[in-house]
Structure 1
């Protein structure tokens, strides 16, 4: 079964950005890179798929624009097809809105409502493409590719292709955010043939939305393409330095470094006096999430919190978590110390000066969560600026 090389996948992700504003008469062949010309055919007039992103009025008035390229495999990829979707700054507000809603995916699992709405605006065009291929006897692998928010849309597309058509499907993403919660991540991991999720160490976008949103593959691994530290908006770009086009230029995935993504299952207990070790980094974003989960499990609240997560927006969910941690801290001196350790590290992550211990009230705990999420989401918004 054919697999796109890292170089081919990253070039397709970059090519997808040319879909915006592309006319139906664009000679698509003129923008196909040399590593793709002998593998996929993009037909003028049929290769550009429009979609609608952004807020209420964009969807109300159907303000569509070129969002994806679709192509048919040739030579060694004969029988396969590719769907490459671009990212967009107009989905930035939806991604960084803590009050984002949930909606059911094609497999009836809960996912980010903003991503799902944009995907649904393209679904009919994708269906026409897949149906046409099937009628022509092309039932090989459907390769779904995307960078940034395009990676999120590619994951929803892959889920839909496999659910609707039972075709073999492979997913390739670069710097993509989380799309759904645990049930969606588990389902996607089980259904798709392969998931090639690539990140840079300092890219903030793959860190959001926060837990309980989960990446697929569930408890799997990611391709960590560089050794970047901290969180830096430039680490999200396709070009430049490090640039996913540069770091994913290999001809084989086996040559790239993989990193386990099962950090959420590792117990982490933090002490307040060690808070200075925290930093605004990808590593500490993961570790703080692990410490929160550990505290909820230790105190016996984890199951109730996860159940609530299935129906809550991030805003109401973390309000509930703050109230829960107030009760946890009151339960015992040990849990109060563990809660204080978590919150102290969160404040240092957010760049706040923490001189001494503080009272563990709901109001204080909620402020800590707001400060931490605000710091991370500001970085994400900066990374997404200019995608269009």
Structure 2
């Protein structure tokens, strides 16, 4: 079953009505394109009406319209003729090249060009007069010219559509990159905020709990001293983070320096002040890439924070070793149930450490291990390998 014809475009309806009314008006004034004709004057209205009806199909059925229009144009040559019929045929030829299939758009200029050449040669051979060239010229104007014009306009439209699509795709990619950049920046700031604050607040929570639980003035005084020290250090870290944010926003201030491996010793000493039996074993060269140093510092900091909150009584070992272009960081702490005050954990610490290692294309693992040399037999080990050649992120 054949598909029904779509509703004609409003512009095509206007073109058909204008052509029909214009052709009737020209015929009423007795204006014809042919001096003589085999059929009398009123017969010129037949191809005119057919051509006007085909204008309704110039978008929906352009190929069929131009084929039927060619037959109507040939029929018009046997009447007195109408210039309006010829003009509507040129519009059908133009529409066929513009709205037809790509194959039709490619073949139409070639076909009309060959028809123009064949018509010129045929009339030259028949008439053997220069007037035959005029017939070929008019044939080219009616067929070849509109076809070429339609192809040119079509190519320009296709190029414009391609550029518009490319612009839309570029905008989508730019938006995707922007969202990814914002997400990555938020994740980075979340890691920084967690690593900076968690250590100090955990110590504050544990020592404040101890001060409230034990009715001992000396213990309370020592706990308050630790609380004050961690409060001051946490405030300094927060100011550093705010300085980074203001610098990124163009506030004009230079951000405070980020922690480096040179601060590992002070970090371990602060852990001992908070009550951990922490020792440092370090063997690495100076001048390591800043991203590697910051990642190692934050991993040790978060590991010490977790040890302060969860580790059993015993020694906590912090180790750093450089070999074969890789910095290895490990922290071991006694694994087991612990008596005494605890600070609740968020679970984001391990995720943050794993992300820091992954951003440098390193590895990270954390979990309990058997340790014969440990008093408790089992230790919780955090181990990260950071390639020194990856100074930046992915």
Same fold (TM over 0.5): no
TM-score if structure 1 supplies the norm length?
0.19
TM-score if structure 2 supplies the norm length?
0.19
| Bigger CA radius of gyration | 2
Identify which of structures 1 and 2 has the higher relative contact order when contacts are C-alpha pairs closer than 8 Å and 6+ apart.
Answer: 1
